[in-house]
Amino acid sequence: MKFSIAQSTELCRLLSDPSRLRLLLLLEAQELSVAELTEITGLAQSRVSTHLARLKRAGLVQHRRSGTAAMYAAASGAGRGQELWTLLREQLDDAQIRLDQERAAEVVRARKRGLSWAESVAGRMELYYSPGRGWEATAHALIGLLDLGEVLDIACGDGVLVELIAERARSVVGVDLSAKLLAAARKRLRGAANVAFCQADMHALPFADGGFDQVFLMHALSYARDPKTAVAEAARQLRRGGRLVVAALNAHRHRAAMEAYDHVNLGVAPDTLGKWLKACGLRLVQCRVTSRERRPPYFEVITALAVREG
């Protein structure tokens, strides 16, 4: 089979991804579902599905229905990528391949023991899709328990958080520096009488001291040229008994990975963030790493909660 330059470039790109190579090698050995491939590789289920779709378009993977599940296997025909894959596969030798095969054998044994879906993913359930169990649905359910009062969302972006909390607050003000993002936020929240938006810099907020019950600073510090000042401005907004919630990237060294997202700093360590909050006269309830991404470069997220007392 002959290829154009564009086709050969596309195939080389397809087979240059280590995750896709791992999936192909697993599927040559045995038929597996997306959930099983997720468990074996540790990749997010959405990424596994995306990789499989690309491999299927290239004629390297096929699938069949088995009840409600789709079972995937290496394609047996002469797809346009088969010859190149065959040549590459003969040269592959890596410890990761052997580890994946061992995990695959365990997964297949569990399948044969007749475990339920929940039992088969016990301890790793957050990695898998299940109808109605998304984080968004869970967040909406939990937000219903709250009475937020008057809320300020700093660096609100296009209003995702504002939309989530608006029904549980007397009022919500969203602040962002970008006029384009605020236009999207206003469109998202059109018709919400208790919501307002304001274009302002998080380092110099245009509000009097102590005007809010809850202040959110969610993933904003990565865009702060002076994160300490941004935290102080957020703390200044709290009235007595008010709470400041911060979510931020833990300090890291991955400058190149952040360029695509326009971050202007490399995160902040929990101890440093905690000191800033205490210096603002707040009582620190929590300030620690609460999540770690499961794929390189394994970014960690800090969650902090601080209260304005007395």
Give residue-wise pLDDT tens across range 5-40. Answer: 777 788 888 888 889 889 988 998 888 989 889 989
Residue 273 lies in a domain: yes
Residues 69-87: what's their mean pLDDT? 75
CATH number at residue 80: 1.10.10.10
Whether residue 105 is found in the same domain as residue 233: no
Confidence of residue 296 (pLDDT cuts 50, 70, 90): low
Whether residue 209 is found in the same domain as residue 67: no
Residue 127 lies in a domain: no
For the chain, how many structural domains are there in total? 2
Confidence of residue 130 (pLDDT cuts 50, 70, 90): low
Residue 35's domain comprises: 5-121
Q: How far apart are the first and last CA of the chain?
A: 77
110 or 303: whose pLDDT is higher? 303
Mean per-residue pLDDT of the chain: 87
Residue 126 lies in a domain: no
Whether residue 94 is found in the same domain as residue 154: no
Q: Output the DSSP codes for 196-232.
A: EEEE--TTS--S-TT-EEEEEEES-GGG-SSHHHHHH
CA distance readout (Å), 123 to 14, 34, 39, 167 = 32, 17, 11, 33
Whether residue 97 is found in the same domain as residue 169: no
For 16-25, the pLDDT digits (tens) are 888 988 998 8
For 150-191, the pLDDT digits (tens) are 999 999 999 999 999 999 999 999 999 999 999 999 999 999
Whether residue 199 is found in the same domain as residue 250: yes
Whether residue 170 is found in the same domain as residue 298: yes
Segment of 99-113, 139-153, 168-182 carrying the highest mean pLDDT: 168-182
For 205-249, the pLDDT digits (tens) are 999 999 999 999 999 999 999 999 999 999 999 999 999 999 999
Interacting residues of 70 by C-beta distance below 8 A, sequence separation 6+: 33, 34, 63, 64
Whether residue 200 is found in the same domain as residue 267: yes
Residue 128 lies in a domain: no
Residue 276 lies in a domain: yes
**Phi, psi (5° rounding) for residue 63?**
-145, 160
Residue 73 lies in a domain: yes
Whether residue 110 is found in the same domain as residue 181: no
Residue 129 lies in a domain: no
For 184-194, the pLDDT digits (tens) are 999 999 999 99
Whether residue 58 is found in the same domain as residue 142: no
CATH number at residue 149: 3.40.50.150
Whether residue 75 is found in the same domain as residue 171: no
- Give the domain-ending residue among 121, 154, 188: 121
Whether residue 143 is found in the same domain as residue 263: yes
